[in-house]
Structure formats: structure tokens, C-alpha cells
Structure 1
Amino acid sequence: MSLSPFLKSFARRLCERGIRPMLAGVLLLPAAAQAASFRYWDDPTASVITLTRAQFVEQVRQHHGEARLVFVNRVVNNAARQQFEAVDTWKGFDRLVKDGFGDCEDFAIAKYQILIDAGTPSDRLDLLAAKDTMTPTYHAVLRYREDDGSHLILDNLTPMMLPEARRTDLEPLVAFDRQQARYFHDGAFHPVDPTRIELGGQRLSERMPHLMDY
């Protein structure tokens, strides 16, 4: 299964330089205080739902397996809009829904935070920075590692969660979580010193410890 022509066109219009390696001079702004509530468009009920973060996390806990991933992907995607930002400020869930917009890495970080808050093991999750071959530019998504070692991709540009092997539009660059980073080379991921990787003008080693704090 591959992305439809519609989704390819949609991604080409919307995915604008979410993660830009090797750009210097970016100011990292402090995260906003936790939002009291947020709204998202609920596709199944065709209505707008208002929740607090705590209520959202509790609802996520009630889902299990792939259903949990689908739910978080859908809610976060529908709680804000993709928008290019001249200053590459990384946002977590609270800042993303408060602003109502963000780059692709903001959506990935928001999903990462909510899933961990709801009890998903952190070693199942990481962020992937990749080259989007359709644009071409850079894109960020959240990955979930399944029992067999393969990954599902949670992408802010589509509600579909495809296996990474089927996302031929993405050329992996680096995957990382709070503890480690891996660089893609010769068809496989290899451990890399995060001080050697720069995303959005800041060393990855400085960003990784704060993935739950943005």
C-alpha cells in the first residue's frame, strides 16, 4: 500500500521544512504553560471536542495496541494545523495546541509526550528525521516499534499509519529518543554521537533530554 496521489499532493503543499539540518542561529523559545483545554475535530462524530490534557491522556489509556496509536495520531493531527515557522522552535503538546499550529516535528513531539504519559513504554517510541523525496525537503514523524522490530509511522500529514518499509517517500536520516541517536547509512541505522548531529540550528544532544519538556 502506498500513499495516494491526493496525499502526495497534500504533503507537497503542507510539509514545509519541518526539520532543517545544519541551520545555524535558531533561538529556542521557552515552552508555554500547560493549556487548560484544547479542541480537536473528531472525524467519526463530525463534531468539535474539548478536552483537558489530563482527560485526553486518560482516554488514551483506555485504548490498547494499535488502536491507541490511531487515536493519538488522529486527535493530535486534528488539534492544530501544519504551518512553516521561520524560527524553528520545537513545541510539545501544550504549546502546539495553545498556538494552534506547528511544524511537523512539533506534532511528532506532542504524540511522543502523550503516549508516554499514557503509559506507552518509551523504548517503543522515537522520532525520525527524514528527507521527503516528494517535496523535496525534510520531514519529521513519530515511530512506534512493534514486537518484530519493524516500525509504524505516525505522520501529521495523514491519518494512515503505514509501516516504515512502505513509506518509500521518506529517506531516513536520523532516529532519536531521549537517550540515544542512530544515523541511517548503507541501508541501516547505526549509533551516532548526538553532539555530531544538528537539527534546526541546535545540537541533537541538547534537544534529546528535553523531549518531554518542550
Structure 2
Amino acid sequence: MRRCLMSVALLLAGLCVTAASLPTERSAARYGPRAVALFREWNQLLGKLQGADERQKLAEVNQFFNRRILYREDIDNWGVQDYWATPLEMFGKGAGDCEDFSIGKYISLLVLGVSPDKLRITYVKARIGGPDSTISQAHMVLAYYPTPSAEPQILDSLVTSIEPASQRTDLLPVFSFNAQGLWVGNRSSNVSKLTRWRQVMDKMKNEGFTF
């Protein structure tokens, strides 16, 4: 996806995710040896974090994807302008762009038992060159809400640290979503309107993820 520019199509479909578990290594093997190696590292990390507190889960999941996965645009990775990859597909390439990182982190935290109510994948306009810049680009991050009314913490593929939203003045939220809903400002609607989100979740089910 060119600088993470998303094309959002509208269709009606249903999906509900409340928990997640991983597929087998055999599913990773269909994407090649690199996918298997990264899947093993990922599986080991998630096993280690099962008893950790949520702050540690967030930090180590964020670090894993930002360090182990290269950032690469969809046109270079997949030959198309916009492609939402499953974690296994991303592992096969060893690379992904902003929505792939966000999806991978979201699924990882679901597997670790973090409530989906606390997680929203968020489409933003990112100001290039800092908060005072007038140049912006489409981007996607994962937002974590410790409580429903709390300020979200931002997990970003392009920034190593997890920072509160108030400190990310370079990001302008447009809409957010998880498996339970779609939000534009304070208005919520049916997440099934996001076709690409439905498609990537269906692909993951076919790979052996359970929700």
C-alpha cells in the first residue's frame, strides 16, 4: 500500500472475535522457511508472555514486530497498491507495511488474553516532518486503552517506543476498528463495512487461527 494508503470498500458481513489461538507450524510452512523461523520465534515469545502483565505484553509484542519485520510498501512486497497480510503471510516475506504490523500486534495481544475491548486498529493521517508540518500521509497504528475512558497508548511500526496519544501530535485519527465495531469520532457502526478487514480475518481462519 503506497505509504499505507488504504482503500476501504463497503460491504455487509459479520465477524466477532473474542479470543485467539495460533495455527500449527504446518500452516506457516506453506509460506516457506522464513515464515517457519519467524513463527517459531513468535510462538516462543507468546508462550513466555502468557503470565506477564499487560504492560510487558505490549512492550515485547511491539518490539518483536518492529525489530524482526522489515517495513516495506505493498507495491514492493506484493506487487499491488494495497494488500492486508496475515501474520503468517508477513512472516513469509519477512516484511510488511503499517496495517500488517498493526494486525500482527492486535492478534498477538488477543492470543495473550488482552481483551479486544482494549484494542483498536486506528487509521490516522501522519504529518511528515513533525506536528507542525502541512504534509500528511495515510498510516495505521494500534491503540491500546487500559480502561474505556483512558487515553490510548500507541503502538506504531515507525516508532520504537509506546507513547500516549497526547504525545503523538503528529497523528490525526480518522477512524478506528476492532473485531467488534468501527468508530468514526464518537460514532460507532458495524465493522463488517470494512471489506479488507473481513478478508484478512477469513484468511487467518483458513490458516488455522481460531477466534
Per the normalisation by structure 1, the TM-score is: 0.70
Supply the distance in 2 between the matched residues of 1:211 and 1:126 (Cα, whole angstroms): 20
- Which deviations, in whole Å up to 9, do the C-alpha atoms of 1:118-166 show, x marking residues without a partner? 1111211110001112252101011110135221000011111111122
Q: CA deviation at 1:60?
A: 2.3
- The count of corresponding residues between Structure 1 and Structure 2 is 173
- Residue number in structure 1 paired with 2:97: 103
Q: CA deviation at 1:72?
A: 0.6
- Residue number in structure 1 paired with 2:187: 190
| Percent of matched pairs sharing the same residue | 25
Partner SS for 1:114? helix
- Residue number in structure 2 paired with 1:45: none
- Residue number in structure 2 paired with 1:18: 4
- Residue number in structure 2 paired with 1:152: 153
Distance 1:175 1:117, change over 3 A: same
Distance 1:212 1:66, change over 3 A: farther
Supply the distance in 2 between the matched residues of 1:165 and 1:207 (Cα, whole angstroms): 32
Over 4 Å off, 4+ runs:
193-196, 207-214
Distance 1:170 1:154, change over 3 A: same
Q: Does 1:121 align with 2:107?
A: no
- Residue number in structure 2 paired with 1:112: 106
More helix by share: 2
The question of whether the paired residues in 2 share the 8 Å contact of 1:57 and 1:114 is answered with yes
The question of whether the paired residues in 1 share the 8 Å contact of 2:54 and 2:114 is answered with no
Amino acid at match of 1:78: R
- Residue number in structure 2 paired with 1:33: 27
Pairwise CA RMSD: 2.8
- Residue number in structure 2 paired with 1:83: 72
Partner SS for 1:179? coil
Partner SS for 1:123? helix
Distance 1:149 1:207, change over 3 A: farther
- Residue number in structure 1 paired with 2:88: 94
Structure 1 residue ranges without an equivalent (≥5): 1-14, 25-31, 40-50
Partner SS for 1:162? strand
Amino acid at match of 1:110: G
Per the normalisation by structure 2, the TM-score is: 0.71
Q: CA deviation at 1:193?
A: 4.2
Structure 2 residue ranges without an equivalent (≥5): 11-25, 29-34, 129-134
More strand by share: 1
